[in-house]
Structure 1
Amino acid sequence: MTRPAILDQAAHVLEARAGTYGPATTSLRAIAARWSLTLGRSVTPAEVVLCMIDLKMVRLTHDPAHRDSLVDVIGYASLMPEVQR
């Protein structure tokens, strides 16, 4: 898969998820709030993004050819500027 194709696929996945679940920043804030309760400390949306990237990286370690995990890493990384605003 070419670089433009994988970036395009990541963009399409983000758009589809937004259509299904709403804005990513809203979901990431909600996840951060839940994780804050679970962990007993404040968790930021940016930390959620980093942890989700870590999850996908572990999956890629298991299967480096798994395209969906690679697309998800790219998608999560592209959300970082939005949650840092």
Structure 2
Amino acid sequence: MTNRPGLLLHVPGDWDVVPDALIELRRHLSDEYGATLEVRPATGYIATPMPQYTGEWSHIVVNEIRSLIHAAFFTLDWLDLEDVG
């Protein structure tokens, strides 16, 4: 029996999703690795999306997936509009 890989992704509650990038992440995980993806809002404070890998993953794959995760979620908290105007 193989241990099917999965990715549980905790995302900060104030972050937004890039729909096309999330679709691409889900497709890539499924097509390339037979992996599942579950996205959950974080219940506490985390600064960035926090992946939790289940099953068998190689370090090379984890590094590759990291860029897809960063493309799928974003925040504009760094943008301070109070100083504008």
Instruction: Give the TM-score range, shorter chain.
Output: under 0.3
Structure with greater strand share of residues: 2
TM-score normalised to the size of structure 1?
0.27
Structure with greater helix share of residues: 1
> Relative contact order: is structure 1 or structure 2 higher (C-alpha 8 Å, sep ≥ 6)?
2
Larger-Rg structure: 2
